[in-house]
Amino acid sequence: MAGISQSHASEELSLVQNGASPLGKILVIDDQQSIRMILSMLLSDMGYVVEVGQNGEEGIQLFNDHSDIALVITDIRMPKMDGNEVARHIRASHRANTPLVAITGFPDEAQVNLFDYRLVKPFKLETLRGIVARLEAIDSPKPQALGSRL
């Protein structure tokens, strides 16, 4: 690991092996298994611990159970509970400042005032990687919407 001292590299590896990530935990909520798998792999490769939910109800349960979730990425159109309802729940919670990213094939359905970013499917994984890096770099992200097809 060029540029990283041996002790720092060992500490980082130890954190990841113990289930903690030096970068944080991300919750991905999507009803499509392929999307959950791809995003989980991408975010894990970036050094994050990833929790996945297959619908809004499961996502809210995971959010409530894991107080260390630093970012939520959610689909909008899902069975049982949609992504807007997930976002309303989070915004009404004591962790209302948790960054939220909407991913959707139906951009008009995402209530942009609830989300920090919106990605329209299909989107480039590099775009999501950039958003995650940007959110990591700032403490309190200001709401934005990326409405163009990426």
Alpha-carbon span 29 to 71, nearest angstrom: 11
Establish if 114 belongs to a structural domain.
Answer: yes
pLDDT tens-digit readout, 68-120: 999 999 999 999 999 999 999 999 999 999 999 999 999 999 999 999 999 99
Domain of residue 116 covers 21-137
The CATH number covering residue 55 comes to 3.40.50.2300
Establish if 3 belongs to a structural domain.
Answer: no
Establish if 68 belongs to a structural domain.
Answer: yes
pLDDT for the residue 136: 83
pLDDT tens-digit readout, 7-44: 333 333 333 334 445 568 999 999 999 999 999 999 99
Establish if 6 belongs to a structural domain.
Answer: no
Among 112, 132, 142, residue whose Cα is nearest residue 71:
132
Number of domains present in the structure of the chain? 1
pLDDT for the residue 23: 60
Establish if 133 belongs to a structural domain.
Answer: yes
Establish if 121 belongs to a structural domain.
Answer: yes
Establish if 146 belongs to a structural domain.
Answer: no
Establish if 125 belongs to a structural domain.
Answer: yes
**Alpha carbon distances (Å) from 81 to 4, 15, 43, 71:** 44, 34, 24, 19
